[in-house]
Amino acid sequence: MRTLVKNSRIITPYEIKVGYSLVVEDDKIEDMIKNENIDESVFDKVIDLKGKYLSSGFIDIHNHGNYGHDAMEGTYDALESMGNYHIKNGVTGYLATTMTNSTENTIRAIKNVASYIHEKNKEGSKVLGLYLEGPYFSQEKKGAQPPEYIKAPDIEELEMLLKEGKDTVKVVAIAPELKNAKEAIRYLKKQGITISAGHTNANYQEAMKGIERGITQATHLYNGMRGFSHREPGVLGAVLTDERVACEMICDGIHIHKAAMNMAVKLKGKDKIILISDAMMAAGLKDGKYQLGGQDVFVKDREARLESGALAGSTLTLNKAVYNMVHLVGVSLNEAVQMASLNPAKAIGIDNYKGSIEIGKDADIIAFNENLDVSFVMVEGHVIDSQL
């Protein structure tokens, strides 16, 4: 089937194109053509976006849950519900993210995601793989990770977890200063898995050793990591200044001050910032009491916190993160979109076929207005949601 998507402002990684329409052939982007060259009669379907922005679908590589469900539930229903909510916010693909828990619960969640991907990942927002956030973390920087399950890396356990994941594990977060971390990082790199420095109290030297061995990402920048000092820059100084590292950011105005976000963009550039939600099950729901990793989380005025006051994930959606990057930090819209689509695709090695509007890539596209309200979603050439 050939579909024409017309009357939009097309956001590419390089510019916003006006006066062009997009051609979709089956599940791929076939062409971008000037409006004056269009013959609508040769298309099976014509979609009028009525002047809205058209961009690649967002990719949320760090997301625990939303709308009352969590990836740790270990059920198809949870993943399906999460995917349905993602679609409403322009997320066409995501990594189901685990958190520090018992080995038994972690295995159940991993096996469920792997099974879902291979058996049921047909329509809606695609589960693109797994992000293992924990349990190999620092107690000092545990944040909302349950302390009773935090431990040093174990290669045999890692091998078992990856085997249960059946090639679906894309990212593993780890504190590089821990015992056995060196061996774990080297092992994960050999498996082609993205290694992220997370929940870490590493000093600058320890962090740089981790980067030399294979760390290429930082888990929710500034949060869950040693702070910066002019005499001991710490892990923060390492990840912000090393060009090999991409930095996740929770751009909700709660986890990070806008000045700190602005500093990160200036240091890393548009290609090395990855917008994430780090959302938990309260995203999309009203204030109240929820759960994260078996712990009570209290949500009030968009903030999710443990009883201790520690932030426990977020209630952010990725379209709102893009909006905030434009209006709080001042980056251009096409750069903010890149941070939520192409950059995360690069981080997990799928940018050759997803993450941007370019000829030959999957037709994962969304339309939104100036407020980033999403009104149209297409995944791999199929219209999943349309409010046009």
At position 294, the amino acid (one-letter code) is G
CA torsion, ordered 97, 98, 99, 103, to nearest 10 deg: -160
Same structural domain, 33 and 162: no
Q: Please tell me the distance from the alpha carbon of residue 154 to that of residue 165, in angstroms, as a whole number.
A: 17
pLDDT digits (tens, 9 = 90+) for 279-323: 999 999 999 999 988 889 999 999 999 999 999 999 999 999 999
Alpha-carbon distance of 87 to 317, in angstroms, equals 11
Q: What single DSSP character describes residue 37?
A: G
Query: Is residue 323 located within the same domain as residue 364?
Result: no
User: What count of other Cβ atoms lies within 10 Å of the Cβ of residue 213?
Assistant: 17
Does the annotation place 257 within a ligand binding site?
Answer: no
What local confidence, expressed as pLDDT, does residue 123 receive? 78
Both 150 and 9 in one domain: the answer is no
- pLDDT at res. 122: 80
66 with 51, same domain: the answer is: no
pTM exceeding the 0.75 threshold for the entire prediction: yes
Residues of the chain with pLDDT under 70: none
| pLDDT of res. 357 | 98
Contacts of 16 (CB under 8 A, 6+ apart): 9, 10, 53, 333, 334
Helical packing angle, 204-213 and 234-241, nearest 10° = 40
Q: What is the DSSP letter of 232?
A: -
341 and 368 fall within a common domain: no
Catalytic residues, by residue number, are 278
Collect all residues with Cβ–Cβ distance below 8 Å to 243 and sequence separation of at least 6: 272
Provide the angle, in degrees to the nearest 10, between the axes of the packed helices 258-268 and 234-241: 50
Q: Is residue 220 part of a domain?
A: yes
The answer to whether position 258 is within a domain reads yes
Domain assignment present for 93: yes
SS3 368: strand
Whether residue 108 is found in the same domain as residue 225: yes
84 annotated ligand-binding residue: no
Q: Residue 131: name the closest of 165, 95, 164, 161 by CA.
A: 95
Residues 215 and 325 in one domain: yes
First to last CA, the chain: 21
Q: Looking at the structure, do residues 11 and 66 belong to the same domain, yes or no? A: no
Amino acid (one-letter) located at 102: S
Closest C-alpha among 228, 238, 183 to residue 205: 238
Residue 374 lies in a domain: yes
Q: What is the pLDDT of residue 120?
A: 86
Query: In the beta sheet, which residues pair with residue 33?
Result: 21
Report which of 71, 86, 191 is spatially closest to residue 134, judged by C-alpha positions.
Answer: 71
Domain range for 8:
2-55+357-386
Looking at the DSSP bridge assignments, the partners of residue 5 are: 22, 47
Region of 313 (left: φ > 0; alpha: ψ -120 to 50; beta: rest) is left
- How many CA atoms, within 13 angstroms, populate the side-chain half-sphere of residue 330? 7
Task: In whole angstroms, give the CA distance from residue 229 to residue 257.
Answer: 18
144 is in an annotated binding site: yes
Identify whether 352 is part of a domain: no
365 lies in some domain: yes
Q: Are residues 157 and 266 in the same domain?
A: yes
Q: Are residues 286 and 367 in the same domain?
A: no
- 313 annotated as ligand-binding: yes
Does residue 40 belong to any structural domain of this protein? yes
Q: Residue 306 belongs to a domain with what CATH number?
A: 3.20.20.140
Q: What is the pLDDT of residue 125?
A: 95
Do 251 and 238 lie in one domain? The reply is: yes
Residue 255, marked binder: yes
231 is in an annotated binding site: yes
Same structural domain, 18 and 153: no
Please state the three-class secondary structure of 290-354 as a single string. Answer: EEECCEEEEEECCEEEECCCCECCECCCHHHHHHHHHHHHCCCHHHHHHHHCHHHHHHCCCCCCC
The answer to whether residues 65 and 20 touch, using CB atoms and an 8 Å cutoff, is no
Q: Which residues pair with 351 in a beta bridge?
A: none
Q: What is the pLDDT of residue 97?
A: 98
Answer whether residue 325 is part of any domain.
Answer: yes
Instruction: Quote the pLDDT of residue 294.
Output: 81
How many domains are contained in the chain? Answer: 2
Q: What is the pLDDT of residue 293?
A: 80
What is the C-alpha radius of gyration for the chain, rounded to an integer number of angstroms?
A: 20
Q: Does 382 count as an annotated binding residue?
A: no
**CATH number of the CATH domain containing 380:** 2.30.40.10
Q: What is the pLDDT of residue 55?
A: 98
Angle at 256 between CA 97 and CA 248, to 5 degrees: 40
